Amino acid sequence: MPTQPLSQKEIEDRLRELPGWSVEDARLVRSYRLPDHFAATALVVHVAQVQQELNHHSDLTLGYDSVALAVHTHSAGGALTDKDFALAERVEAIAPGHGAH
């Protein structure tokens, strides 16, 4: 059974629980600042591990002291689904441990 897209109201409700996250170009996005390049790289590796566990992958962009994520569900026609928010919630849980803000 394919993953069902969320309604606009469901998306808005879920975003209230994820400060710093927003929707841009039909993707759930967030950028983090980190203390330095090593911390940013460590966060990328940790996010990659979470993505493997969830079998759901975002676009990750690594900068010197920043990490950006953008995610949507390909199998739902590029819409936002519970999978996207589950990934965002997991990333929010691990990011502070890397000094992200």
What are the tens digits of pLDDT across the range 8-37? 999 999 999 999 999 999 999 999 999 999
Structure tokens at 82: 């519970």
The reported pLDDT for the residue numbered 1 is: 53
Q: What's the whole-model pTM score?
A: 0.96
**pLDDT at position 46, please?**
98
- Crossing angle of helices 37-54 and 82-94, rounded to 10°: 140
pLDDT value at residue 78: 94
Q: Answer yes or no: are the C-beta atoms of 14 and 43 closer than 8 Å.
A: no
